[in-house]
Chain A
Amino acid sequence: MAEQDLHRQHISGQFNQELETATAHMLEMGGVVEKQVLAAVAALLELDSGDAQAVIESDRAINAMELDIDDECFRILARRQPAASDLRLVLAIGKVIIDLERIGDESSRIARQAIALSEQAEDDLARPWTQKIATIVAEMLRGALDAFARRDAQAALALARGDEEIDANMAGAMTALADTMRSDPEAVEACITTMWVLRSLERIGDHARNIAEYVIYMVEGVDVRHAELEAVLDLLPER
């Protein structure tokens, strides 16, 4: 339904083009940010400070993309006065790029912690959990961007459930780090660094969830931010 609406052509082919281009740019930025997350996590797990430095440096490109896409949205709003699904699309793009840019920032933070950790320890002290959480948040991010590209509100809704798994792994990681700190005071610094990493990963998950929520807003016109999951199901139109 909504999916077809969005793909139908406008009378103005140029307007069509503008909306499609802004969407493509946003998805492209999403792809770059996703790579950034994976690169930061890889640098961390390999304790490779060179790769970590590269992640930090490429954050500038993400910031530039955000500004460009923001400008595109601003121009569409000013010149086209979009309504209904077009308006929701432009607003959603404008919000998604803010979260993407912040995911980029968190990736840089992880990269900085990777550099620190490479000087503090031989290994990531919560490796299995870090790996697990990184996998979940990277999947969430990819899923949210896919849901955007396919205008799939149901898929976006399903993503909101990824949260619980992250919480469980965070709890496991924290317990393990606390145990290490108790038994080996030398490792406290490295443990704290690892905690910062986990915190950044958790935030990336939150941003991915935000993106999923914007997808629901864009497709269904329903704002599900700050709503409980059960309430969200009530808000959505019946299928």
Chain B
Amino acid sequence: MSTHGFDLDAMNRRPWAPAPEADVALSVERLNLSYSGKPALRDIDLSIPRRRVTAFIGPSGCGKSSLLRCFNRMNDLVDGCVVSGRVMLEDTNIYLPTVDVSQLRRRVGMVFQKPNPFPMSVYENVAYGLRIQGINRRRHLDEIVEKSLRSAALWDEVKDRLEDNALGLSGGQQQRLVIARTIAVEPEMVLLDEPASSLDPISTLKIEELIYELKSKYTIVIVTHNMQQAARVSDMTAFMNLGRLVEYDSTDRLFTNPRQRQTEDYITGRYG
């Protein structure tokens, strides 16, 4: 069974696969997590390839979102959450007390299920992270805002309404705006927690297309309940159940010939 490493051969057989060399962007070692003493993640080991899309799938409560939230320490905000093991970003264990969490979250951005634009203009939403970093020169900001909105495939739709309140955008546009806001600060990694589950099918396809575009620059990890979505957008897929990583393999392999019975049952709808 393959839970570590990448089946590069299988990945490279995909005609649309990008450059063959996939080095590791982030690795998890013996990660355990509990909420108020109740275990939610057990002995997780896995590596996330750089500039690839990795999907986490599994039934509700399997731990996939908890695992995702470990990658930028979002779980720190949850009372009673205890994490052990290591999450290595480059050469640093991000759970070391010396790690600057705001800095970490700039490097590892996150997008949630429900679009959460700030109640301010479209422009200021994207410029927000940059202003916090002390970047205030209008021309510089203009450049980055446009670039980020273009990368998020939103520019054409909002270029004439940059000063309008972001809350007036549609759900799909709001989600792409949040992605633009996330990538404006040039993160290394983007975590997507059910990014399309509150969107209609067309907006969902736009987000999926965007994910494909973004992976040439960023490492993407996506949690999704929608198995077909994982199959469509990801290069690697991890199937989790009851807090454990059951199987981790190239998406091609996992959806055509999984190695584990549990995975087979889940993806063919025999689970439960």
Which A residues have a C-beta under 8 Å from some C-beta of B? 1, 5, 8-12, 15, 81-88, 220-221
Contacts and interface: CB of A to CB of B under 8 A. Distances in A.
Nearest to B253: A221
A5 B261 CA distance: 8
Contacts of B270: 5, 8-11
Nearest to B231: A83
A11, A15, A82 interface centre (most CB from chain B within 10 Å):
A11
Nearest to B258: A84
Given A83-B256, A83-B268, A84-B263, 4 more contacts: A10-B268, A11-B271, A84-B255, A84-B267
Contacts of A221: 256-257
Given A221-B256, A221-B257, A85 B268 contact: yes
Contacts of B272: 11
A20 to B, nearest CB: 14
A15 B269 CA distance: 9
A8 B258 CA distance: 16
Contact residues on B (Cβ < 8 Å of other chain), bracket = 10 to 19
A84 B228 contact: no
A2 to B, nearest CB: 9
Contacts of B227: 83
A82 B268 CA distance: 7
B265 A83 contact: no
B264 interface: yes
Contacts of A9: 270
B267 to A, nearest CB: 4
Given A5-B261, A81-B228, A83-B231, A88 B256 contact: yes
A11 B271 CA distance: 7
Nearest to A2: B264
A224 to B, nearest CB: 13
